[in-house]
Amino acid sequence: MIKRLLAATGIATLCLITGASAAEKIDMWVRSGIGDSFKKVVEAYNSTHENQVAATEVPFSELVQKYATAIAGGQAPDALSMDLIYTPAFAAAGQLEDLTDWAKQLPYFSSLSPSHVRLGTYQDRIYGLPLSVETSVFAWNKDLYRQAGLDPEKAPTSWQEIEANAEKIRKLGDDTYGFYFSGGGCGGCMIFTFTPLVWGSGADILSADGKTATLDTPQMRKAVDIYRGMVKKDLVPASAASDNGVNFLSFTNGKIGQQSLGAFAIGTLVTEHPDINFGVTLIPGVDGGTSSFAGGDNFVVTKGTGKLDAVKEFIEYVYSMKGQKVMAKYGSLPTRGDIADKVLEGLDPRMHVGLEAISVAKTPYTLQFNDLINSANGPWATFTNAAIFGDDVDGAFANAQSEMQSIIDSGQ
């Protein structure tokens, strides 16, 4: 009797163990505002695999502090789709799982997006791998161009042209505007869409070693003047002044003539707003040239998670042809260079502009990105709002320049 009981409990325990190991549930966080590509690849994965991924969307402006507090409180998710610029900071704090050995044996490791891998590497160990790639591009609404008497197939090549086109589009109606940007203290939006104006013309907001703030340049003055001018001429909706990024995709409402957006937005427009007939081109610099911000997310794994194997399986799925196709369809550029052309085959041709932008794109490298740029109360976010909408442009330049420098100095 006792023997039988023992055997029964033994079998029951065995069942429990195998049951537990058969299907893992991976908790993953992803930031909002990057389109649907991640959501869709998770859906595709969940429907074909026994392991499941539970993705939680976190507002992009709060992801860093939420993740950091979750780590400190022992409540962190297993893995995270992290804005790639934050990978060095978290790797340096020793909070991420070392993926070096596993990553290097992937047959396509050498063709993974190099800038992502560079930012995912800290002291020669790899902590982050590319998950999604995006670049900023300039988009215009072809229907509004046509109505305003402009050539809908001709991409504007200078800001003078963009402003002139905006004036014509504004005349179409009370609620039709020529241009849009999220100017209400959205540092992330503005570094993505506004700095290409100065990058394209050879200036930058930080020195190459990241130790000096170089905000006050003739190029930046000119860029600010262009945006100020468009605001003053009423070519930009009044809501832009307080948009903290929530309405970044205002272009999708069909009443905005022109806007700088990202490749993610191309995917969103194509799949969810097929009625919007738009073109994309590279963002012009203020003095000629073009540029773009190369961003996107890195895949990072929280140190000490017990589900490493399941996470690896999911990453490998994302890197497979199938996974890459799903990602690309919803606007994430291919992370694997070796199959990039094949992945984009048959997809919207406008995605190629996003891919082309990579060659002129920049990504700032600084451990203080959140403090300097992305924080809603940081100097960059404050500067963009004060310089473009405020009354005192010189003061805005001086304040931001000195505050950026003091943040950089205090971090040394």
Segment lying near another protein (by CB under 8 A), choices 62-70, 135-143, 160-168, 283-291: 62-70
Choice between 29 and 145, CB closer to another protein? 29
Cα distance between residue 11 and residue 5, in whole Å: 10
Q: How far apart are CA 229 and CA 88, in angstroms?
A: 38
* Cα distance between residue 279 and residue 258, in whole Å: 10
Find the shortest distance in angstroms from Cβ 404 to another protein. Answer: 14
- Chain positions 340 to 379 lying near another protein, rule: CB under 8 A, are 370-371, 375-377
Give the chain's radius of gyration (CA, Å).
Answer: 23
The mark string for 73-92 relative to another protein (x by CB under 8 A, - otherwise) is -----------------x--
At residue 126, the 3 state secondary structure works out as: strand
Strand partners, 121: 126
The residue within the footprint of another protein, chosen from 94, 173, 218, 304 (CB under 8 A), is: 94
CA distance 340 to 355: 9
Spatial neighbors of 387 by CB under 8 A, at least 6 apart, are: 224, 228, 393, 396, 397, 400
Size of the site for another protein (CB under 8 A): 30
Distance (Å, whole) CA 262 – CA 297:
13
Residues 233 to 252: which contact another protein by CB under 8 A? 237-239, 241-242, 244
| Residues in contact with another protein, shown as a per-residue x/- string from 277 to 316 under the rule CB under 8 A | ----------------------------------------
Closer to another protein by CB, 296 or 378: give it.
378
256-262 vs 283-284, strand pairing mode? unpaired
Q: What's 96's DSSP letter? A: B
Using the minimum distance from each CB to another protein, give the nearer residue, 239 or 363.
Answer: 239
CB of 29 to another protein, least distance (A): 16
Report how far residue 45's alpha carbon sits from residue 1's, in angstroms, rounded to the nearest whole number.
46
Shortest gap between Cβ of 184 and another protein (angstroms)? 7
The first and second tokens of residue 49, run together, are: 């695999």
172 makes contact with another protein (CB under 8 A): no
Instruction: Name which of 68 and 106 has its Cβ closer to another protein.
Output: 68
Length of the chain: 412
- Residue ranges binding another protein (CB under 8 A): 64-65, 68-69, 71-72, 90, 93-95, 175, 184-185, 237-239, 241-242, 244, 370-371, 375-377, 382, 385-386, 389-390, 396
